[in-house]
């Protein structure tokens, strides 16, 4: 990890805390996540990693997150 974060992070706690934040905090987190992913080198690396994550999510979890990719101009 570029920023050298600790390995023993309680991700369930982080996720629960982030879920209860407002949209501005959530956007800040997601932008930082995307920026970090885009620092890896290639778009293919990012797409592969997100595909691995996608495979491990349940259909219900993917449906819940689908709105993140929704573009009102397309729909």
- Segment 64-75, tens digit of pLDDT: 999 999 888 875
Q: Are residues 30 and 47 in the same domain?
A: no
Distance between CA atoms of residues 44 and 29, nearest Å: 22
**pLDDT classification of 9: cutoffs 50, 70, 90:** confident
Residue 4 belongs to domain spanning: 1-39
pTM, entire model = 0.81
Q: Are residues 16 and 50 in the same domain?
A: no
**pLDDT classification of 8: cutoffs 50, 70, 90:** confident
Distance between CA atoms of residues 67 and 69, nearest Å: 5
Token pair belonging to 2: 């570029």
Number of domains observed in the structure of the chain: 2
pLDDT digits (tens, 9 = 90+) for 26-49: 999 999 999 999 999 899 999 999
């Amino acid at each position: 990890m570029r920023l050298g974060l600790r390995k023993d992070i309680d991700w369930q706690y982080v996720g629960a805390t982030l879920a209860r934040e407002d949209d501005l905090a959530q956007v800040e987190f997601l932008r930082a996540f995307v920026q970090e992913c885009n620092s890896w080198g290639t778009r293919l690396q990012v797409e592969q990693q997100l595909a691995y994550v996608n495979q491990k999510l349940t259909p219900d979890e993917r449906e819940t997150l689908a709105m993140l990719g929704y573009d009102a101009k397309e729909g």
